[in-house]
Amino acid sequence: MCSADRINPLSELVAVDPLYSPMEGTILKTKQMTAHEKFFEIRLEGGKELGHLPGQFVIFSLFGIGEAPISVSSSPTKKDKSTFEVVTRKVGVFTAAMHKLEPGDKIGVRGPFGRPFPIDDLKGNDLLFVAGGLGIVPLRSLIQFVMDKRRDFGEVTILLGCREPKDRLFTNEIEEWGRMTDINYACTVDRADPEWKGNVGVITTLIPGVDIDLKRTYAVVVGPPIMYKFVIAELLKKGLSGDQIVISLERRMKCGLGKCGHCQINGKYTCQDGPTFIYSELKTLEEAL
């Protein structure tokens, strides 16, 4: 096997197709958000736009380490379109190596991949965002998009849940959401600390108190797999149909192209047919949720 120093640097790769050949990305900014999550702002070579939509993901690569799919957390409506943002949780070899990167370091970027959130269907409707834990990372892209195009959407409600107050991500932004007059925002934690003055309990405890116009509301739910069953049950109890519930599944994605079969769910590929799905599409796929 060739040693890492014998592999051509990213700058020497010929980018035939960004889905197959990595583009060169430069780390512009990093921030340790929690003990396990780190924020990255990245610029593509030549200031090229990523061209993503909310809900899509990219695949990062590091020579000698491998590659991994990561959701894009920034909206395509951000002012500097030559950069995009992600947050990674350190859970394995690749993300541990990525967490060591600092401004100026290089990383390979393929994508964007996947089916985005159904923005055209959401326009003109009330939106209920439900984010659990790391689910706020991909959902933030859609929330920012909606905020930047606020007149295109109806009432907006954001429900956020996490294990402990210290696990909250984007704390400055979510505190700003709580001060905004044109959205409804609530946050809950499973376990409070002495300084926490907010709600305590699982995220489903927030749903009964939400007023929903059943004729014009979409719920967008992103979080850990165990959360979906209970959140969806509460939303159905409120009267929403399966066609009004959008979820994001980041299940075992690997190649991003539907070639390796790693993310297959009875003929559907999370990386290509998703990662966003309408709940009614998944009712017959018991393995999906």
Which one has a higher pLDDT value, 1 or 189? 189
Predicted confidence (pLDDT) at residue 13 exceeds the cutoff of 50? no
pLDDT digits (tens, 9 = 90+) for 88-136: 999 999 999 999 999 999 999 999 999 999 999 999 999 999 999 999 9
Which domains occur in the chain, in start order?
4-113 (2.40.30.10), 119-288 (3.40.50.80)
pLDDT digits (tens, 9 = 90+) for 256-272: 666 666 666 667 767 67
Distances (CA, A) of 14 to 1, 6, 234: 22, 17, 50
Predicted confidence (pLDDT) at residue 10 exceeds the cutoff of 50? no
Report phi then psi at 134, rounded to 5: -70, -10
pLDDT of residue 109: 96
Rounded to whole angstroms, the maximal C-alpha distance in the chain is 61
**Alpha carbon distance 246, 197 (integer Å):** 31
pLDDT digits (tens, 9 = 90+) for 23-43: 999 999 999 999 999 999 999
**Alpha carbon distance 66, 266 (integer Å):** 27
Q: How far is CA 132 from the centre of its chain?
A: 11
Predicted confidence (pLDDT) at residue 286 exceeds the cutoff of 70? no
31, 46 in Cβ contact below 8 A? Answer: no
Q: How far apart are the first and last CA of the chain?
A: 40
